[in-house]
A and B are shown apart, each in its own frame.
Chain A
């Protein structure tokens, strides 16, 4: 798939068909994620993939932003102690979530290229999701990604450019 087509075609999917996603395919998505840039090449991200229906239901119960019934939920996590060790306070508080976001975008595009639907979820209770996934202290879930075969094709929201993009010097309102 052409990269521009993937970038422009991907949507947040909140309705999924009741079909499994093969484990190999999920592994491919993680492979794409870990090829994302990582500040100081820290690679302190961690991924936990939930596929058992009961576990997904438990995650959903404490994740108001998780809509629909996906075949899998991927928790994009960070080892914050490792991030602090590699990047200091900046690494822990800023670079770790940025790295997680960049890895997540790779994952989303790879999923779209395979015909999968995804949605990034930030609205979840971190402590509760951590317990459901057995995360030890210091492994922080940054984002959840629901993954499944899409049952909808939502239209693209418009993208604004005016007042947002400048060459050389900022020339917009403060």
Chain B
């Protein structure tokens, strides 16, 4: 994608986020998290189209796109989906592979459930 097209798509994404900000004043609060997720998905897609490849980001985008519309059908399911997405994010941070931090003067290992 050329610079002009990239700038256009970034402009559209910013426009989406700004207009969402305005519209959310009057919309159901559930659409707030939905718009954030959708913006994240659009951003990752833009990066992919720019051939900035990250397998974990692509995985997150696929998960977002697969579950985001549950907001339309089941708030409870949407909440569960969001929790699972945050869990997936943490998984992709590779926690537990680093040494544990000092705690009360004693070094401990982080245990993973």
- Interface set of A (CB-CB < 8 Å, partner B): 12, 14, 57, 60-64, 67, 123-125, 128, 154, 157
Verify A64–B69 contact, CB threshold 8 A.
Answer: no
Closest B residue to A128 by beta carbon equals B19
How many residue pairs link A and B with beta carbons under 8 A? The number is 34
B79 smallest CB distance to A (angstroms): 17
Contacts A57-B12, A60-B12, A123-B27: A14 and B69 contacting too (C-beta < 8 A)?
yes
Verify A64–B16 contact, CB threshold 8 A.
Answer: yes
Chain B, 1-57, CB within 8 A of any chain A CB: 8, 11-12, 15-16, 19-20, 22-23, 27, 31, 35, 38
Verify A125–B22 contact, CB threshold 8 A.
Answer: yes
Contacts of A12 in B (CB 8 A): 72
Distance A14 CA – B38 CA, assembled complex (angstroms): 13
Contacts A61-B12, A157-B73: A125 and B19 contacting too (C-beta < 8 A)?
yes
State the main secondary structure of chain A at its contact with B.
Answer: loop
Chain B, 49-92, CB within 8 A of any chain A CB: 69, 72-73
Verify A123–B31 contact, CB threshold 8 A.
Answer: yes
Contacts of B69 in A (CB 8 A): 14, 154
Distance A168 CA – B103 CA, assembled complex (angstroms): 69
Verify B19–A63 contact, CB threshold 8 A.
Answer: yes
Verify A157–B20 contact, CB threshold 8 A.
Answer: no
Distance A67 CA – B38 CA, assembled complex (angstroms): 9
Contacts of A124 in B (CB 8 A): 19, 23
Verify B15–A61 contact, CB threshold 8 A.
Answer: yes
17 inter-chain pairs at a CB distance below 8 angstroms, sorted by A residue, are A12-B72, A57-B8, A60-B12, A60-B16, A61-B12, A61-B15, A61-B16, A62-B19, A64-B16, A64-B23, A67-B38, A123-B23, A125-B19, A125-B22, A125-B23, A128-B19, A157-B73
